[in-house]
Amino acid sequence: MATQQTLLIIGIFLLVGFDGCFSVIPEEEQNPDFWYVKGKEALHTSLSMKPNLHRAKNLILFLGDGMGISTVTAARIMKGQMEGKTGEESVLAMDTFPYLALSKTYNVDQQMPDSAATATAYLCGVKSNYGTLGLSAAARRKDCSSAKGNEVKSILHQAKMAGKSVGIVSTTRVQHASPAASYSHTPERGWYSDKELTSEAIAGGCKDIAYQLVHNTDINVILGGGRQYMFPKETADPEYPTVTGSRKDKTNLVDVWLKKRNSAKYVWNKKDFDDVKEDNTDYLMGLFEPKDTRYELERDPSMDPSLTDMVEKAIKILRRNPKGFYLFVEGGRIDHGHHAGQAKYALTEAVEFDRAIARAAELTSELDTLSVVTADHSHVFSFGGYSYRGNPVLGVSYAKAEDGKRFTNALYGNGPGYQIAVMNIFSRLLCL
């Protein structure tokens, strides 16, 4: 059975034709007036923009992990193509934000940053060392003794101290680097549970990240993956019986979290998640996979909520607080797809991340809510080459390299790339 993307490719060939290869040129864009009107509209919008003088009581920070500029560009086109368009003319929700800036992402000790030290920077306000969470640069990675006295406070913690409701939502495990900088202080980002703690860390009294999730800042909404780190190693996972918890201290951290809070609920599947009534829920923890959540391309919608689903649930719970709320939202598996050299996974995650941004905008008001979209670092992912309008993002160039072969427009500088076989077939039939 043909996939949606295959049908889109076939439709482009059948509807617009080709000259040597194919090119999609919308008729209206051939008229100069089309562009003159677009230019005037853009200029009018810019000149009409006025500062928002309202004081925000809510803040939503959206973090696309590993989502550099090339990823945003490719995701924008993919979004349009997923909607049956050529794609280049598409607009992401994040594109509509009125202000834009760039940031430097180095760590104190490394030129190329990681998600732990960058999270410490944008959540706690200080640059730090690679692999460390919620600590100043005086702390050293893996050195438990260097952590004491060098803790820095996150914006999530400060919001809670100000009386606001707070939450974290991530497509990674909630103990992963980006969300963990919100609540933990640890010299090693890999100390997910006490199983990973070194003998020096245990002797020095350092606590694992999952422990700190429950015992540090009082968080109202926690949604993502990471069940494994919350349960004893003797406890079988409810979804995957062959998988067990990883804790050596025999502590059920979910129970600890629930007992400390009134009107608190824990869920691990979509049905129970959907059954949660936001109007009478003050605390919600939802952990939908033992480790990271499934990629959007592989997600079972009957078992796991999407990032957009989780963001909607979080906002509806947090906004009940008259003093306002703070919410951290991470599209964390954008980064994982890029690390694996799998552009299709990374870009699909980015499109879903943008969908969550759009849904949050529908549920909030600019009069009292500040939304910020950013990335913690980029990847050696490039999107270029030579392709006609409407060429699939994961397709091949019409030009040939020096070896006489075509190449993908999406390329990686740190590993293998992937291409769609059906595109190769069409290229050979129509472009050779």
Catalytic positions are 115
Residues 204, 146 contacting (CB under 8 angstroms): no
Cα four-point dihedral sign 336, 294, 192, 309: positive
Quote the tokens at residue 29. 């864009």
* Three-state DSSP state, 357: helix
Distances (CA, A) of 158 to 61, 179, 301: 14, 15, 35
Specify the amino acid at residue 372: V
Identify the three-state secondary structure at position 186. Answer: strand
Q: What string of DSSP letters covers 40-79? A: HHHHHHHHH-----SPPSEEEEEEETT--HHHHHHHHHHH
DSSP readout, 275-319? H--GGG-SEEEEE-SSSSPPPTTT--TTTS--HHHHHHHHHHHHT
Q: Is residue 245 within 8 Å of residue 235, measured between CB atoms? A: yes
Amino acid type, 191: W
How many CA atoms does the CB half-sphere of 47 hold within 13 Å?
A: 6
Closest CA to 288 of 225, 194, 206: 225
